[in-house]
Amino acid sequence: MAKQKEQMSVVKKMMIALIGGLIVGIAFLLIRENVVSESTWNVINKILFQDITVEEGVGAVGIFYIVGQIFMRGLQLAIVPLVLVSLSLAMCSISNSTKLGRIAGKTLLGFFGFYVFGAFFGCVIAYIIKSLGFFNVTLPSEAVSEAATIDAFNPLATIVNAVPSNITEAFSTNNSILAVVVVAIIIGLCMNQLGEKADPLKKVLESANEVIQMYLTFLINKVGPVAIFCLISRTFAIYGVEYLAPAAAYVIFAMLTLFLLVVTLYPLGIWITTRENPVKFLKKIAKVGVFGFSTNSSAACLPLNTRTCIDELGCSEEITSFVLPTGMTINMNGTTVMHMFAVTFIATAAGINVTPANMIVMAFLSICAAAGTPAIPIAGTTMIFTVLSGMGWTTEACLIGYALVVAINRPVEMALLPLNVIGDAAVNVIVNAKEKELDKEKYNG
């Protein structure tokens, strides 16, 4: 009972931080636009919001920036060890190879199914909005050269990059999470086959897992609410109306579609496949969505998502420790939906007539790209160029449109994260139900 109260207090703190951050951020935005002079705002910005790592930040304090970055870096610090340890132990603990194959097959099928439906609805809504003329905008002329410097990328290279040639190189960056997953699976399967011979390594990994979980619990419970307040406030304070105005239709309709899919696609998927009450799922997983919206990182949500699935949704620890790290790595459903809107907007604004056939190819390229997208903030936005390149839409006008989307995409990036992390939990519930390991008392409690 005490544990339940503690969890509820963390949820309330996060909600208060989110709402407070929105209010404070919008208040600063209004002050900047309507109340103070540019010189006064520069002083406020240097004290509170300035990125102190860039040239303009020399001499600035950037209180909100520092708090937000310490929290985000603290979360990112645990990503590689968390994925390596949890997935290795998951592979090792599933002693029945037939069961492991079933779980892996159902997990991949679940993620792919939601990818297809998400991309389909994203395509349909984006095409309707485009057909109604909402994407007919006048592009600005700056930042063309900056956008043009981005390298082209074949999405199929994700398959090759998944197998690292150097294990230490894979562990040295959060951008190679798919490679870390492959290494973790190899270690776990080898430990599984070795049995008792691998017990010393298993004990080391279990101890490491305890340390990681304790560290993340402290970081999320104690530092998280303050950091969320700072992150949200800073986002709205520095991304002003001048960035949103030229492409308000893209931002608004993309965010509305992402929210609509969160409250319909996954609950319907759970009801159709398991016949469990989807409202119970939404109520319990909502805080994970809020946390994803605030932190803008799937990886940052993994500890909270894991605890919610096991403690509140009745999922088994064994299956959860496989499904969630896998989902964090390959399930970027929200990114695919965003790509449908962003690429359609960019192409339409550049004078290209986007057809339904084009959108099918876009969806395929986006799913390939999204599956290899690192679970870190703004990664999805940078992968827009992958889809544009695959479509051959790299004219100067397209690059200008891409530069514009990069400038204004922060709110959409925040809105797509709940779709990603809640999708991980939805597939976890479905796989647990199909394996008859879902604790229905906990789920309905």
Per-domain residue ranges for the chain?
Answer: 2-444
pLDDT band of residue 124 (cuts 50, 70, 90) is very high
> In the predicted model, what is the mean pLDDT of residues 54-76?
83
Of 333, 323, 399, 423, nearest to 91 by C-alpha is: 323
Neighbours of 200 (CB within 10 A): 9
What whole-number distance in Å separates Cα of residue 47 and Cα of residue 55? Answer: 15
What whole-number distance in Å separates Cα of residue 432 and Cα of residue 426? Answer: 10
Of 281, 249, 236, nearest to 262 by C-alpha is: 281
Q: Are 140 and 404 in contact (CB under 8 A)?
A: yes
Query: Which pLDDT belongs to residue 371?
Result: 64
Q: What tokens appear for 89 in the block? A: 């132990």
Phi, psi of 90 (to 5 degrees): -65, -45
Q: What is the pLDDT of residues 2-59, one digit of tens each?
A: 444 445 456 677 778 878 887 888 888 888 878 788 888 888 888 888 888 877 788 8
Q: Are 406 and 292 in contact (CB under 8 A)?
A: no
Range picked from 146-150, 287-291, 363-367 for highest mean pLDDT: 287-291
Burial 368-400 (b: 16+ CB within 10 A, else e): bbbbbbbbbbebbbbbbbbbbbbbebbeebbbb
User: Residue 262: CB partners within 8 Å, gap ≥ 6?
Assistant: 289, 418, 419, 422
Residue 61 in 3-state DSSP? coil
Of 232, 217, 309, nearest to 10 by C-alpha is: 217
User: Residue 13: CB partners within 8 Å, gap ≥ 6?
Assistant: 224, 225
Distances (CA, A) of 47 to 24, 63, 90, 297: 15, 6, 46, 26
Of 99, 85, 94, nearest to 193 by C-alpha is: 94
pLDDT band of residue 80 (cuts 50, 70, 90) is confident
pLDDT at 174 over 50: yes
Q: What is the mean pLDDT of the chain?
A: 78
> Any idea what DSSP says for residue 153?
-
Q: Are 378 and 413 in contact (CB under 8 A)?
A: yes
The pTM of the full predicted model, rounded to 2 decimals, is 0.66
pLDDT at 367 over 50: yes
Question: What's the CATH class of domain 2-444?
Answer: mainly alpha
| C-alpha neighbours within 13 Å on the C-beta side of residue 65 | 17
Query: Which pLDDT belongs to residue 140?
Result: 44
User: Residue 359: CB partners within 8 Å, gap ≥ 6?
Assistant: 123, 126, 127, 340, 344
| C-alpha neighbours within 13 Å on the C-beta side of residue 249 | 21
Q: What tokens appear for 174 in the block? A: 């959060």
Amino acid letter for position 341: F
Query: Which pLDDT belongs to residue 11?
Result: 60
> In the predicted model, what is the mean pLDDT of residues 270-283?
89
pLDDT at 141 over 50: no
pLDDT at 220 over 50: yes
Q: What tokens appear for 255 in the block? A: 């965010």
pLDDT at 359 over 90: no
pLDDT at 304 over 60: yes
Range picked from 55-59, 285-289, 347-351, 382-386 for highest mean pLDDT: 285-289
Query: Which pLDDT belongs to residue 252?
Result: 84
Phi, psi of 256 (to 5 degrees): -65, -40
Q: What is the sign of the dihedral through the CA atoms of 427, 124, 375 and 9?
A: negative
Q: What is the pLDDT of residues 418-438, one digit of tens each?
A: 888 999 999 999 999 988 888
Q: What tokens appear for 230 in the block? A: 């700072």
Q: What is the pLDDT of residues 236-255, one digit of tens each?
A: 777 655 445 456 778 888 88
pLDDT at 121 over 70: yes
> In the predicted model, what is the mean pLDDT of residues 317-322?
85
Query: Which pLDDT belongs to residue 292?
Result: 82
pLDDT band of residue 378 (cuts 50, 70, 90) is low
For 296, left (φ over 0), alpha (ψ -120 to 50), or beta? left
Q: What is the pLDDT of residues 335-354, one digit of tens each?
A: 888 899 888 888 887 778 88
Distances (CA, A) of 51 to 57, 63, 80, 300: 6, 9, 26, 21
> In the predicted model, what is the mean pLDDT of residues 387-395?
76
Q: What tokens appear for 326 in the block? A: 């896998």
Q: What tokens appear for 251 in the block? A: 């931002």
Lowest mean pLDDT among 196-210, 211-225, 268-282: 211-225
pLDDT at 138 over 60: no
